Amino acid sequence: MWKVTKTEKIIGILFILAGLFFFISEYITLSHATLPTLQLYIGYSVSELAVPVGDIYFNIISTLSPKANLLNNGIVLAGVVILIGNFVAVRKHISEYKPLFYLITLVLSLGFILVAAFHTGGPTSEEMHKLGAMMLFFGGSFLLIFIGFFVTENPLYKNICLALGFIGLICGIGFCLIKEDPVFSVYRGIVERENIYSTIIWMIITGITLVSSKTIEKIEKKKT
């Protein structure tokens, strides 16, 4: 069990809220879209769902997702909270290679932001979106695997991070392989989601771990 400060517990609450907000924003966006929810969930990626109505999507005007901006807000919030939370709280529980931990965190957080800022299918945004998606997919997977190997004092949390990281990595690779396949691309939505969900679920679990850990007070040295 970790020992954490009150500040780290606040970070834990932010992790939980940001993770839940992502799932809620996606659900609302799915439920207000112009196609059946199950069809969207299985066959349309988060990236496609996040294209606002009126934007150009591969030479046509998108009408799919009236609540796309809500989902984009959820994506950005996740990236920002991961950046702040890892630099303020999670870093204290990493035993080795902290510069690499900071680098992977930056890659992942920037990936979230790029995915929300540059939408797929746009005539000028597609390449930046692809870059952001790769940073999100693999930054998230490698971050979780890294934490699983180098986090301290919490075997259950370590194993959960490793499991989520490898699930995310497999799904990230799978999405890259099937996204343009004439047969299996109809499943691209659910495969992509499992990659992103692994990171979002990690956020919530990290938040719960921080909030439920023993609180310690900062001890100031007495002046002599």
Do 147 and 94 form a contact (C-beta atoms < 8 A)?
A: yes
* CA–CA distance, 196 with 108 (Å, rounded to integer): 11
Lowest mean pLDDT among 68-77, 109-118, 147-156, 190-199: 147-156
Asked whether residue 222 is assigned to any structural domain, the reply reads no
- pLDDT of res. 69: 96
Per-residue pLDDT, 12: 97
Please compute the mean of the pLDDT values over residues 108-123 and round it to a whole number. 96
Q: How many domains does the chain have?
A: 1
In the chain, what percentage of residues exceed pLDDT 70?
Answer: 97
Within-domain flag for 36: yes
Q: What integer pLDDT is reported at residue 221 of this predicted model?
A: 43
Domain boundaries, position 28 = 3-213
- Its pTM stands at 0.93
Within a domain: 221: no
Concatenating the DSSP letter of every residue in 169-194 gives: HHHHHHHHHHTT-TTGGGGHHHHHHH
Between helix 68-88 and helix 188-212 the angle, nearest 10°, is: 40
**Residue 220 domain flag:** no
| Average pLDDT over every residue of 69-93 | 97
Q: How confident is the model at residue 8 (pLDDT cuts 50, 70, 90)?
A: very high
Does a structural domain hold residue 188? yes
Q: What is the pLDDT of residues 33-42, one digit of tens each?
A: 999 999 999 9
Task: Give 191-221 pLDDT, tens digit per residue.
Answer: 999 999 999 999 999 999 999 998 887 544 4
Packing angle of the helix pair 188-212, 155-178 (nearest 10 deg):
160
In a domain, 223, yes or no: no
- Residue holding tokens 């396949």? 181
How much is the pLDDT for 218? 59
Neighbours of 134 (CB within 10 A): 16
Does residue 224 carry a pLDDT above 70?
no
In a domain, 218, yes or no: no
144-166: b (≥16 Cβ within 10 Å) or e: bbbbbebbeeeeebbebbbebbe
Tell me if 219 is assigned to some domain.
no
